[in-house]
Every structure is written in structure tokens, then in C-alpha cells.
Amino acid sequence: MNGSGHIKVLIFSVTIAAISFLLSLKIRSMSNPRTVLVIGGGLAGLTAAHTALEHGAKVILIDKKPSFGGNSVKASSGINGAVTDAQKQHNIEDSVQAFYNDTERSAGSLARPELIQTLTSNSAAALTWLSTRFNVDLSIVSRLGGHSIPRTHRGQGGAPGWAMTSALIKKLEQVAASEPERVKTIRGAKATELLENEDGGIIGVQYEIADGKQSERADVVILTTGGYAADFADGGYLSRHRPDLLNLPTASGDHATGDGLQLATSLQKRTAALCDIDQVQVHPTGFVDPKSPSSKTKILAAEALRGAGGMLVDKNGERFANELDKRDVVTAKMLELISAGRSPIWLLLGEDSANTLKTHCDFYLSKGLMKRYTDGNEFTRDKNLPSGNLAATFASFRSYADGQESDPFGRVYFDHRHTDIGINQPLLVAEITPVVHYTMGGVSIDASAHVLDLQGVPIPGLFAAGEVIGGVHGENRLGGSSLLEAIVFGRIAGEGAMKI
């Protein structure tokens, strides 16, 4: 037999061996499936659960709230992806490298290249998974602050976070109904302790439910409990690590109290490491509800509003920042204004801009968070702005958008919708304020979503995904990357749980 013949035989033998191995795995998973326990029913947890199911697991999903969804259902601007089908359809030229560069720049001195590469290089596949497996519409692409290219995707309907999360919840409930032996869901269950074996591996969880303490055993546990952006309690994560933020409101649900961090750092044999716990994102635009202006919890004014053409002005009707700068930069400018007595701060949208986010704006209007004015003059009179200031601001803004002058605040991205904002044009207006929004810190992981101990070694049987993890975003998270992080690392964790 000649050399090529030997190679063909070798390839054939390897192929048969690989097929046999995969079949053995499938048979084993069908007869004795691995149990994967997911703690937290937001988008990361749902993604991990579905991915584990796709690989033949039996899944247990628990959440301390009465319903699944977490903060993911609130996400209103979209999900990032580079080199996606939607971008190609809109003739948007993007690259994984450009997305990586934007994310690294945003992360600053705390950038972790391996985690950023994992996030950005898996983004297109994450969106494809959502659209093909769950029929999630991601056809609209916009640009958010800190992005050099439009890459934040959403659909034609309501809030993208709700669209994604509800689709995954619905399909999981369908599987639970048709194959109850494969899916078990437990709501209203607060995890209190991760169970360890004698070697420090994680083998389950103890939790509290209405009828007392119970436990579940599993081969693998995935933490997807969210962050700590609502942990304002004495001795909590915010009071210990960011006491300067305690007087700010939050846009987070009351469940976001750092439960996963507490579970992971309370292990007796191999304590999990934390990272970047002092890195907390303050979002520049939370709605001030006229009915309850001092409420500690705010509804987020989607960054997509600024991406679609929203303008920020102070109480004098004057701009003060590049509306599409990084969140931490815009927030810092706003806090300076508030300290200087130049609040309230207003978010203004022209009618064409508002129509690109009609579902969002209709919701905000129905809640009384936005108000419609016949034109800028009516708004000026209603809020007693200095005469002529707003007209001058609009005129300058249109000049920058038309390229006649350079914006002194450094804004370079404009499109046709920005020309619809004028003193004699219809206007939608909202009062806004900075809000504690997202916690970049969390449990330390590697690029395979393994939770790491204090020596940087993976803890056997423990993975994590979503806002509970730290290190992915560094000093500042780009808008649109929270949902992406949930999907990318949720899929990695769900798949990794079936490999160990």
C-alpha cells in the first residue's frame, strides 16, 4: 500500500473512532445523564440551562424570586455582535478586532485580554444562536456610547432583554412540560450554601424555600445569580467597596444583592477568588419619575435613546457632553453638573428619533416618564429655561451634525435623525439622573467559565456566567455587552459542565 493509502486508512480509522466515542457519550447521557444545577434564572442561567440540555444533561434551575428573568428582562438597548448577518444586511463593516479594541479601551487598566477575546470572538455565534434556536428578532442595529461602529442589535418589538429572556423561558417551560425527567425548576428558593465533597469539589446546593431548608445534588453547579447593584445594606458589598454610591438610586431589581459572591466565598475547602469588586457602573440616564422623584429605584432610560439622536441638556438648556461617550465619562460630567447646581438634566428627542424607538417611547410616555411637547418653545416656557438658550443649542447641534462645525464635546457620530431636533419641532422630554446600574466585579473565572480559587485554580464542578462574574469589563462596561456576556459565558458554562 502506498503512502496515500495509509493516510486514507488512518483518516478512516480516526473518523470511526471519533464517531464511536460520540455515540458512546450520547448513549451514556441518555441512560445516565449528568445533572447540571443552575442557580439564577436570568438570561445567563437560562442560556446555561438550554446549552446543557442541548448536550444531553438533566437540568435543575432555581431562582430566589417567584419568576425567572432577573435584571435581563429590563435590558432595553440591545445586544452587541460583530460581523453579524444583520450588520451585513445594513452594509455595516465591522470586525472582531474592532469590537475587541473598543472593549479593551473601555475596560482601561483592568482589561483582561483573554476574557475580552472570548466575549468578542463569540458574539456573532451568540446572536445566531438566539435568532435560529429561539426566533429572536435582532434585525435593527444601532450605535451606543463607546462603540466605534454600530453593533448593538435589537428587534422591531419591545425591549430586547424581555424578548430574549421570555423566549428562553417559554422554551424551557415547554421542555419541562414534555420531558419532566430532564428539567426541574424551583422558584422562590434562595440558595444558602454550596455543597462540597471532601476534595473541595462542588456537588450541589442547599436552599431555603417557603416550607424550609432543602438541598439538591448535582454533578456540576453553575452560578448565574447576578450582581450586587441593589446591595445597599449595612455591611453589604456597596457599603464596603463603594460607599460613595450609597446615596444614588439604582436601576437594578432588589434581588441583586451579591448572593453568588457570598456563596462562592463561603466555601470551606477552596474559597473562590473575587476581582474588581470596587468597579461599579453608574449609568448616566435613569428616569426621574415626576410622581415619585425621590424613589430609590429608577427605570433606566435606554442608551438607545441617545444612540437614536437623544440630546442631553442642563437646566439652562445647554449641552455639556458627548452623548455617545463612554458611560463613565457621561456620568462623571452629569455628577459635576449636579454638584454645581446645574440640574435638573433633560434628555430631549426629536419626533423622528423617537419613532425609531416607538415601543420604548410609548411605554415611557404611558408611565409618565416622558412628556411630549408641541415644540421646544413650549418646553422652554414649561421649565423656565433662559430665553434663547435652547434655540441656540439646537442650531449648534444641527451645525455639528451637518459637518459645518466640530462639536466642542467631541461627538463625531451623527445621522439624519439628528436634524429633526429644533426649537419649532415636536419634542419628547424626560428628566434623568445617574443610577447604580451594573457591577463589573464578581467571582474570578477563566475563559472557560470555571470559577477560580484564591490560587487561580479552577474549583471542580463550579462554573459561573453573567453579572456574577468579574473581570470581563474591567473599569467600564460598554452598552449592549451585558446581554452578550450572559449568552457567551452562559453557553460556555453550559457546554463546559458536560465536559468535566
What pLDDT digit, counting tens, does each position of 311-340 carry?
A: 999 999 999 999 999 999 999 999 999 999
Q: What are φ and ψ of residue 270, in 5° steps?
A: -140, 90
Residue 287's DSSP bridge partners are: 432
Q: Do 74 and 120 belong to one domain?
A: yes
Q: Do 175 and 273 belong to one domain?
A: yes
Q: What CATH number should be reported for the domain holding residue 166?
A: 3.50.50.60
What pLDDT digit, counting tens, does each position of 284-319 carry?
A: 999 999 999 999 999 999 999 998 889 999 999 999
pLDDT level of residue 356 (50, 70, 90 thresholds): confident
Q: Do 387 and 485 belong to one domain?
A: no
Distance of CA 76 to the CA centre of its chain: 10
Q: Do 221 and 90 belong to one domain?
A: yes
Q: Do 219 and 127 belong to one domain?
A: yes
Residue 14 lies in a domain: no
Cell numbers of 421, please? 431636533
Of 390, 414, 436, which marks where a domain is finished? Answer: 436
Residue 17 lies in a domain: no
What pLDDT digit, counting tens, does each position of 372-407 carry?
A: 999 999 999 999 999 999 999 999 998 898 888 999
Residue with cell 445567563: 44
Task: Provide the pLDDT for residue 413.
Answer: 85
Nearest to 204 by CA among 212, 70, 189: 189
Q: Is residue 123 pLDDT above 80, yes or no? A: yes
Residue 39's contacts (CB-CB under 8 Å, 6 or more residues apart) are: 45, 62, 63, 191, 205, 221, 222, 223, 224, 225, 260, 263
Q: Do 44 and 84 belong to one domain?
A: yes
Nearest to 54 by CA among 179, 138, 166: 179
Are 390 and 317 in contact by the 8 Å Cβ rule? The answer is yes
Task: Summarize the confidence of residues 123-145 as an average pLDDT.
Answer: 97
What pLDDT digit, counting tens, does each position of 26-49 carry?
A: 444 456 899 999 999 999 999 999
DSSP category for residue 478: P
Q: Is the alpha carbon torsion for 341, 344, 350, 356 positive or negative?
A: positive
Percent of the chain exceeding pLDDT 90 equals 86
Residue 115 burial class via C-beta count within 10 angstroms: exposed 0-12, middle 13-18, buried 19 and up:
buried
Average pLDDT across the chain, whole number: 93
Of 405, 436, 467, which marks where a domain is finished? Answer: 436
Are 452 and 266 in contact by the 8 Å Cβ rule? The answer is no
Residue 209 lies in a domain: yes
What pLDDT digit, counting tens, does each position of 99-110 carry?
A: 999 999 999 999
Residue 21 lies in a domain: no
Domain count, the chain: 2
Q: Do 375 and 425 belong to one domain?
A: yes
Residue 59's DSSP bridge partners are: 36, 183
Q: Is residue 25 pLDDT above 60, yes or no? A: no
Percent of the chain exceeding pLDDT 70 equals 93
Task: Enter the pTM of the model.
Answer: 0.89
Task: Summarize the confidence of residues 415-420 as an average pLDDT.
Answer: 62
Q: State which residues form the domain around 56.
A: 34-279+440-500
Are 347 and 321 in contact by the 8 Å Cβ rule? The answer is no
How large is the angle between the packed helices 160-178 and 481-496, nearest 10 degrees? 30
Residue 467 lies in a domain: yes
Q: Do 274 and 287 belong to one domain?
A: no
Radius of gyration of the chain from its Cα atoms, rounded to whole angstroms: 24
Q: What are φ and ψ of residue 90, in 5° steps?
A: -95, 10
Q: Is residue 15 pLDDT above 60, yes or no? A: no
Residues with catalytic function? 283, 306
Task: Provide the pLDDT for residue 414.
Answer: 80
Q: What CATH number should be reported for the domain holding residue 389?
A: 3.90.700.10
How far apart are alpha carbons 223 and 493 in whole angstroms? Answer: 9
Q: Do 125 and 190 belong to one domain?
A: yes
Q: Do 473 and 342 belong to one domain?
A: no
Q: Do 399 and 454 belong to one domain?
A: no
Q: Do 253 and 379 belong to one domain?
A: no
> 3-class DSSP state for residue 360?
helix
Of 436, 471, 487, which marks where a domain is finished? Answer: 436
Task: Summarize the confidence of residues 115-120 as an average pLDDT.
Answer: 99
Residue 16 lies in a domain: no
Per-position DSSP letters for 71-128, written without gaps between them: GGGG--S-EE-SS-HHHHHTT----HHHHHHHHHHHHGGG--HHHHHHHHHTHHHHHH
What pLDDT digit, counting tens, does each position of 436-459 carry?
A: 999 999 999 999 999 999 999 999
